Amino acid sequence: MVRSALVAPLLVCLLSSVAVAQSPTPSILIARQLAEAQQISVGAIVRLASKADGSDAREFVVAGIYEPTPDPARLGSIPNEVRLHLPDLLALTREAGEIAGAEHVSSINVALVHPSEASTFAADVNARLPGVLAMTAANAAGSAGPFLVIERFHRAIAIVTIAAATVFLLALTIMLVDERRETVGVLRLIGLPSRRILTQVLIEGLLVAAAGTMFGLVLAALSQQLINAFFQWRYDTALVFVRITREVALTATAIAVPLGTAATVIASWALLRRNALRLARR
Amino acid sequence: MKAVGFAWRTLVRQPARAVLAVLGVAAAGALLLDMLLLSNGLVASMRDLLERTGWDVRVTRTGDAPRRGPRITSVAATLEAMSALSGVRSAVAVRAVDAAVETAAHTPLVSLLQGASGGAPPPWTVLRGTDARERGEVVLNESASAALEAEPGREVTVRASCATGDEALPPVQLRITGIAAFPFEIAREHMLGATLDTLAVVCGGGEAADQADIILVQSTGDPSAAAAAITAMRPDLRAVTNDDMVGRLEQNEFTYFRQISTVLTTVTLSFAVLLITVLITVSVNQRLGEIAALRALGFSRSRVVADVLAESALIVALGGLASLPLGMLMARWLDGILKGIPGIPAAMHFFVYEESTLALHIALLATTALVAALYPMRIVSRLPIAATLRDEVTE
């Protein structure tokens, strides 16, 4: 059932980097941000120590440079990290007098052959291994908590923005409809019923709202690239900040089109209730 | 003033559109105010919180947040040496450990037990009862008191976790002497406070009483000098002032809110400028004949331009006034949402009112009124009187 296991990396103290070498020296991977900051390239020899004073440092060869998995909970902090093979890490951090094999690891990531059995597997581990807490990846993603709150915050901002936009839209449509009062008056005088004019206004409002929504979605799609590029540069992360998904586009459309259409109809309705002669009168 | 009166009559003549325009500006202005409050709110709140505690220098081993770095050892000797420094008025060492609190009627309550050294006021404020100054005494925060249904005079059993998660320390009975407020307590967090001696007992004795996560220092008036003196005395310790801490938070942890605030402020202002421009432009276009007639009657070009500017200013001013209470209400609502972020002290706020923020809000709205009026003002100033009147008659 268990296919692979990977132990979470431990941040250790980077002491120095020296010339390129080919030797049985244990290998490590180094985070891109750290490699850039310290100008370390693949093949370089670095010395790592788990103690702040640098005692008991060991040499490692940089086998590769990796992009750290974006972590929303660590946004703003520079991931000065290296990844070691587990035996090398344990050897580096083992306290004097500690027996090899008695060390702790903080977590074990498990990839299942059948991911759908994650809950059953976690329950099985919890029942069989007291003192070990197994969680599905979805449950373990508690670190995303702050970002769920920020999502709620953004939703609240969106509600206020929609409210402000609706009020402005209504004001604008009232003015635009008022500009056409004479046309509407003449149409009614030549015999077109109010219902017919309202239908025409409804279709017109629908078309304008649909066109506006399309324009808004294209603008959002273009601006998402800009926003992501800016924040990824600002925080030096691969994290995606804005993503216009199909659901987001559908939600925006579901709000914008009826809202735009309704604003046009409401503004026109007030006009159509007036006397046709008064509307046509100059 | 004449222009303002004229603009007022223009607005009153079309009450529906005027009210909607003002409401739109009020909503946009409220959002703008909130974004301005947010841009510096968390930093201002943190500064206020740090200053309210009365401690102006914080000493740790590595500069990391308490419990994230190694502990300070030989605390008693360190405190004695610090107290001898001329720039130090008082100092208190604090250590925190995880603790499970048990009572006869309840399942263990996960909480944080803080131990503070004597000789200086503890880093909490007693609300009811008395402080825990003797060994075996403890104070609870309101949250722990409510969860345990425990009041001063009762006893609680505490099992602490002081070194690693694997240890099994014996339970210790502690007597509750009071209910206290902890400045950095997180919403719904259960906290206990005791002396370092009591914490040492809970931690099974040994050197626990001589270790601390942080030493809080009150300077005699110059925190920077006190921090420098402490660092000179103990180069292995990091002493930071409140200003240093706020500066660090400003540059790292809280930058996201400043960025998002800047983005939303820009979007809100652009949105407001665009919509007010459209509203006034359409309004002006509908009144071109009327404006041309006024010009023909003797109104100067600058006067009709001033009328348009006054109309924009009136809409923005009325909307801006309405935006203040609306913005403050919204700020409370949004603050409540954001305080759901784990680890945020209950006393901290994301939206903090400052006079400078209000001044900036007014300045931005005034600029909005001016910029939004530029295009319609241009239309009015270039209006050909005779041609416009002729068009109006022949249409």
Size of interface A-B (CB pairs under 8 A): 79
Query: How would residue B271 be classed by pLDDT, with cut points 50, 70 and 90?
Result: confident
Supply the pLDDT for residue B171.
Answer: 82
Say what the pLDDT of residue A73 is: 59
Q: Which of B20, B259, B341 sits opposite A234 (nearest CB)?
A: B259
- Tell me the average pLDDT across B334-351: 85
The answer to pTM > 0.80 is no
For the segment B114-139, the average pLDDT, to the nearest whole number, is: 88
Which residues of chain A lie closer than 8 angstroms to B337, CB-CB? 149, 152-153, 156
Under 8 Å between Cβ of A121 and A1: yes
Per DSSP, the residues of A126-165 read HHHSTT-----HHHHGGGGHHHHHHHHHHHHHHHHHHHHH
Minimal Cα distance from A170: which residue of B? B20
Chain B residue numbers touching A52 (CB-CB < 8 A):
62
Which member of B23, B279, B333 has the closest CB to residue A172? B279
- Map tokens 């105010």 to a residue: B33
Q: Which position has the token pair 């001033």?
A: B306
Residue B389, C-beta contacts closer than 8 angstroms, at least 6 positions apart: B289, B292, B293, B296
pLDDT at B197 over 60: yes
Assign A92 a pLDDT band (cuts: 50, 70, 90): confident
Question: Rounded CA gap, A174 and A168, in Å?
Answer: 10
* Tokens of residue B160, six digits: 């602490």
User: Does the pLDDT of residue A282 top 70, yes or no?
Assistant: no
At residue A16, the pLDDT reads 43
* pLDDT top residue among A236 and B192: B192
**pLDDT attached to residue B166:** 53
Kindly state the average pLDDT of the residues A78-107. Answer: 81
Residue B333 pLDDT: 92
Determine the Cα–Cα distance for residues B317 and B362; give it in Å rounded to an integer. Answer: 9
Confidence of residue B168 (pLDDT cuts 50, 70, 90): low
CB distance A160–B30 less than 8 Å?
yes
Q: Given the cut 0.95, state whether the ipTM is greater than it.
A: no
Give the pLDDT score at A12. 42
Rounded to an integer, the average pLDDT of B285-303 is: 88
The predicted structure's pLDDT at residue A1? 36
Query: Residues A112-149: pLDDT tens digits?
Result: 999 889 889 988 887 887 666 788 887 665 555 677 78
Tens of pLDDT, residue by residue over B67-101, are: 666 788 888 888 888 888 888 898 999 998 888 88
Is the pLDDT at A71 greater than 70? The verdict is no
Q: What type of residue is B19?
A: V
Residue bearing the bigger pLDDT, A83 or B271: A83
Closest C-alpha among A194, A186, A188 to residue A268: A194
Q: State chain A's mean pLDDT as an integer.
A: 79
Mean pLDDT of the residues in chain B: 85
Question: B95 forms bridges with which residues in the sheet?
Answer: B115
- Which positions ≥6 away from B312 have C-beta within 8 Å? B276, B280, B369, B370, B372, B373, B376
Q: Which residue of A150, A153, A175 is in closest CB contact with B17?
A: A175
In sequence order, the 6+-apart residues with CB closer than 8 A to the CB of B189 are: B111, B112, B141, B143, B346
Lowest-pLDDT choice from A93-97, B302-306, B349-353: A93-97
Percent of chain B surpassing pLDDT 90: 21
- Hey, of A105, A148, A160, A230, which one would you mutate to test binding to chain B, going by the most B CBs within 10 A of its CB? A160
Phi and psi angles of residue B394, each rounded to the nearest 5 degrees, phi first: -80, -20
Say if residue A214's pLDDT is above 90: yes
A240/B256: higher pLDDT: A240
Tell me which H or E stretch contains A10: none
- Sheet-wide strand order for A82-84: A13-20, A44-49, A58-66, A27-31, A82-84
- The chain A residues in contact with chain B (CB within 8 A) are 52, 75-77, 145-146, 149-150, 152-153, 156-157, 160-161, 163-165, 167-168, 170-172, 174-176, 178-179, 227, 231, 234, 270
* Cα separation, A139 vs A256, whole angstroms: 35
User: Which range has the top average pLDDT, A239-243, B11-15, B197-201, B325-329?
Assistant: B325-329
The three-class DSSP label of residue B108 is strand
Give the pLDDT band of residue B66 (cuts 50, 70, 90): confident
pLDDT band at B211 (very low <50, low <70, confident <90, very high): confident
The predicted pLDDT at position B105 comes to: 60
- Give which of B301, B255, B311, B227 is closest to B3, Cα–Cα: B311
Q: Helix, strand, coil shares of chain A as percentages rounded to 5?
A: 55, 15, 30
A276 pLDDT higher than 80: no
- Rounded Cα distance between B151 and B305, Å, is 71
- Which of the given ranges, A187-196, B202-211, B292-301, has the highest pLDDT on average? B292-301
